[in-house]
Structure 1
Amino acid sequence: MAGGTTGALLYAVSAAVLGMLQFGFNTGVINAPRAFIENFIREQNDASPSLVFSVIVSIFAVGGMIGCPLASYLVEKRGRKNALLINSFIGIVGAALMGFSKVAYSVEMLIIGRFIIGINCGFATTASPTYVSEIAPLNLRGAFGTVNQLAVALGMVGGQILGIDVILGSDAGWPWLLGLAIIPSVLQCIMLPFAPESPRFLLLSVRDEEKARIALTKIRGTNQINDEINDMHVEDQAAKEEDKFSIADLFKISSLRTPLLIGIVMHLSQQLGGINAVLYYSVTIFQSAGLEESVARLASIGVGSVLFVMALVSIPLMDRLGRRTLQLVGLGGMTVFSVLMTIAFFTYENNTTMSTFAVIFTFLYVAFFGVGPSSIPWMILSELFNQGARSAAVSVGALVNWFANFVVGLTFIPMSEALDNYVFLPYTVLLILFFLFTFFKLPETKNRTIEEVTALFKN
């Protein structure tokens, strides 16, 4: 029925979110095989294995910083579906380079492959949510939007499970483990040609109403689509009457600068609170807390599993409790458990039960991240800006997020070597600052129109 789910809609969403599954997989998969990759680095050159491994981890985020603006350009020039299809070929190249790096005795291939798969994942984090939000019916847009986060968590858990020693977490298996990133991209190549293009793109960008109607009829499973087409025309007319703002305008105009600053800090809080230190290095963290390597790998699966469960839990809470409340609860919980993690890491040698508590505290830290900070930064800029400034603001937020991701990935190993068991204290200090900023600066956007929110900053 109109406004409901159909086979065509579910097929198109499934094809699109394979890119988000790819993002989750490549975030979590690098964790378990660290020791084997460092041995491979040691065999090929005289560079510091831990430093090169940090580059391998963090170069993924550099690719993401390139992928985001590339996606913004291609989704407008080539369409949502075709942009996703182009990106799937980028993913195949990156996965193949990583998978064949050991056979070629080339650390450089591994680094380049990881960089290219980063482009693919950065591209997906922009293009996939855009496509899904435009084909989903209005009454289900929020629910379908959460599918992206669920796909990320599912990909992360899959990568962590495949990385245990009895599957592919071995000296012989790690190239296969990284190379499996080719599967989501190949599936996208097969599925996307049969998915419909976004009717919104066809109507508002291509200016072909007939094709838009055909696509929308297929997605909705009914020809009762006139109201939705008319809504698109109304939106198009309103957009023409609104002023358009560039990225430079966001920094120049005070009423835009304040919400931009809030959005930037929200994105920084997601990354600089230390979550990717856990996602990229949880096996290393659990080993430093006294667990054997095989047990640490199994424990790391729990990290992705907790994120997956919390993605489900946060869906009904988002509109019930509001963005501001969930963000504060999440940051507050992360602060508490980052302190408890530090205590557990520091005392486990004198009390072996603290190794268990270190794992539990890490899981709870991740759980509070999933309450709000995992998803709210990605949605808050869309709710703080009107149509004319939204695209530029979201682009800035995505770029900041990926840059902060790069910083955490590159610096965690040197920080852990310098600070040892106190490695999470810098993140704790930043979490406290982010909590205070959020408490004093972030307005609640729940049940407020865009006009009401933007009026707060004009005043």
Structure 2
Amino acid sequence: MDFQLPQIQQWCRKVLTARFGATLSTEEMEILWASVVTSTLLMGMVGCFCGGILSSKLGSTLLLFAAPCFLFCRMAWSIELLYLGRLSVGLALGLSLSVIPMYLAEVSPLKLRGAMGVLLPLGITAGVVLGQVVTLDQLLGDKDLWHFGLGIGGLLNFICFVAYWWMPESPEYLCSFKNNPEEALKVIRKLLGQNSVDGALEKQIRTGFGIAQKSKGLSVRDILTDGKYRLPLALLFLMNAGCGLSGINVIFSYSVSTLQRIGINSNDAKLFSVGFGCINLAASSCGLFLMDRFNRRPMMLISCIACGVTLLLNTTVIYFINEVSWLPMVSVGAIVLFLLSYQTGVGQIPFFIGAEMFEIEARSSALALGTFGNWLANLIIVMLFPIVQHLWGAFAFLPSSIVCFALAIFVYFYLPETRGRIVSDTALLISKGFKSHIR
């Protein structure tokens, strides 16, 4: 919504004046807008704890409900509909993002688990780029069409909603919670081919059926109070929070205003922002080939350190921005390097690492806590970055740089390698908490 901010705020002023005779000051408008943005984040934090087998379908339903709210809020002169749409989007995303990584991991063969895990952040990145393009002033971003730009996501979600009904159930879920190994074998053959189930795999599934019958999903409280989950929960929560605090949300949520502060005019700033989105998408696409060819642990380490270094570089450049005429382009280059660094690890691995560390009985609750960490980080950025930017100026990116370096240290000491390992082996490796020997 960064591109449409002036148009939507202008509309809000007109609505409040026409309906209530109220005229908002700049500070009051900033408070109103902050409440619009944070409503989505708060509902996302609620939604991530409402996961379940219907979460992805319900998430799409809520997104379909949000689309007409956005489409009709301008015609109805209703800020309430704008809020309702934002609340629906937040709840839908919270529901979906806590379930999709789990589903992708459970339907993926071991050798493709990393590439499949990348599909979620890749889809998010593609959605960001699409949103940037359609909300340009030349398309659906002007004062008369901005509501169509907000509601266009409903078309994509309708397609996804229809497709959900043909998606197979997770074989692990069918065995562990539905007590149906026959259906699990049928799904595996459907996903991987008729010859994918050999005698050994079939015996393994049927032998494990008696154990699976005893499996029960653990609640958030259960895993928080069980010592063997202490380290994996800390890893999952901090990696997801680090993903949100790393600076990516600053770059895209405040891209236009940040670029304007370094001397780039408004129209060019929007085009630069779209360019950043395209580079981010291209870098994210590379994850499809990287994740199953390189180990998770070194990729995460390199990504954290590189993100911290590029943010420090950008901080230095912005501090001296008025000294040399070509420094704004160096700042743009630093942002590009940050995006490339981010998508090699920090921007992808946290989304699926939880499904590689937690066995199925704890997976749903653990992923909910991890997703909560990401939403909480986003809320912190939205609430505090404008204040930090106002008070610290050129040093506004410094906290994100520190977060990246701190996350690198934590990953170095505690993150085990999960590539090529079955989940039970990884879970056993980190079951002794912070005393675990990960190497």
Using structure 2 for the length normalisation, give the TM-score.
Answer: 0.85
1:152 is aligned to 2:124: yes
Residue 286 of structure 1 deviates from its aligned partner by 1.3
| Matched letter for residue 92 of structure 1 | L
Relative distance call for 1:206 and 1:319 in structure 2 (3 A) is: closer
Q: Distance in 2 between matches of 1:383 and 1:391?
A: 12
Equivalent residue for 1:353?
A: 326
Q: Distance in 1 between matches of 2:288 and 2:387?
A: 37
Relative distance call for 1:445 and 1:192 in structure 2 (3 A) is: closer
1:453 is aligned to 2:435: no
Residue 295 of structure 1 deviates from its aligned partner by 0.9
| Matched letter for residue 391 of structure 1 | S
- Residues 143-182 of structure 1 mapped to structure 2, 5 A cutoff: 143-182=115-154
Residue pair 1:58, 1:406 contacting (<8 A) in 2 also: yes
Of 411, 416, 427, which aligns to 1:438? 411
- Residues 10-409 of structure 1 mapped to structure 2, 5 A cutoff: 30-45=1-16, 46=24, 48-70=28-50, 72-73=51-52, 75=53, 78=54, 83-202=55-174, 204-207=176-179, 218-220=190-192, 222=194, 225=197, 230-240=203-213, 245-409=218-382
Residue 319 of structure 1 deviates from its aligned partner by 4.4
Residue pair 1:59, 1:406 contacting (<8 A) in 2 also: no
Residue pair 1:150, 1:312 contacting (<8 A) in 2 also: yes
Q: Distance in 2 between matches of 1:204 and 1:246?
A: 16
| 1:129 match: secondary structure | helix
Residue pair 1:270, 1:374 contacting (<8 A) in 2 also: yes
Q: Distance in 2 between matches of 1:445 and 1:220?
A: 22
* CA deviation vs aligned residue, 1:52-72 (integer Å, no higher than 9, x gap): 3233233222222222222x2
Q: Distance in 2 between matches of 1:215 and 1:260?
A: 30
Q: Distance in 2 between matches of 1:371 and 1:269?
A: 14
| Matched letter for residue 405 of structure 1 | N
* CA deviation vs aligned residue, 1:93-121 (integer Å, no higher than 9, x gap): 11221222222222232122112111112
Residue 456 of structure 1 deviates from its aligned partner by 5.6
Residue 225 of structure 1 deviates from its aligned partner by 4.8
Q: Distance in 1 between matches of 2:139 and 2:2?
A: 14
The 10-residue stretch of structure 1 (225-234 or 43-52) with the greater mean CA deviation from structure 2: 225-234
Aligned residues: 422
| 1:371 match: secondary structure | coil
| Matched letter for residue 422 of structure 1 | F
Q: Distance in 1 between matches of 2:195 and 2:2?
A: 49
The 10-residue stretch of structure 1 (165-174 or 127-136) with the greater mean CA deviation from structure 2: 127-136
Q: Which runs of 5+ in 1 are unaligned?
A: 1-29
Residue pair 1:37, 1:53 contacting (<8 A) in 2 also: no
Q: Distance in 1 between matches of 2:236 and 2:185?
A: 36
Residue pair 2:188, 2:196 contacting (<8 A) in 1 also: no
Residue pair 1:302, 1:363 contacting (<8 A) in 2 also: no
Q: Distance in 2 between matches of 1:179 and 1:294?
A: 23
Q: Distance in 2 between matches of 1:235 and 1:283?
A: 55
Q: Distance in 2 between matches of 1:233 and 1:252?
A: 32
* CA deviation vs aligned residue, 1:136-167 (integer Å, no higher than 9, x gap): 44543433332222222211111111122211
Residue 299 of structure 1 deviates from its aligned partner by 0.9
| Matched letter for residue 272 of structure 1 | L
Q: Distance in 2 between matches of 1:215 and 1:268?
A: 34
Of 382, 386, 391, which aligns to 1:418? 391
Q: Distance in 2 between matches of 1:451 and 1:212?
A: 23
Residue 373 of structure 1 deviates from its aligned partner by 0.8
- Paired-residue identity, %: 26
Give the aligned CA root-mean-square deviation in angstroms: 2.9
Residue 180 of structure 1 deviates from its aligned partner by 0.5
Residue pair 1:283, 1:300 contacting (<8 A) in 2 also: yes
| 2:114 match: secondary structure | helix
Residue 421 of structure 1 deviates from its aligned partner by 2.9
Q: Distance in 2 between matches of 1:52 and 1:347?
A: 34
Q: Which runs of 5+ in 2 are unaligned?
A: 17-23
Equivalent residue for 1:20?
A: none
* CA deviation vs aligned residue, 1:231-259 (integer Å, no higher than 9, x gap): 44445444456797543343434433233
| 1:100 match: secondary structure | helix
Residue pair 1:200, 1:232 contacting (<8 A) in 2 also: no
Residue pair 1:288, 1:345 contacting (<8 A) in 2 also: no
Residue pair 2:255, 2:273 contacting (<8 A) in 1 also: yes
Equivalent residue for 1:24?
A: none
Q: Distance in 2 between matches of 1:303 and 1:323?
A: 25
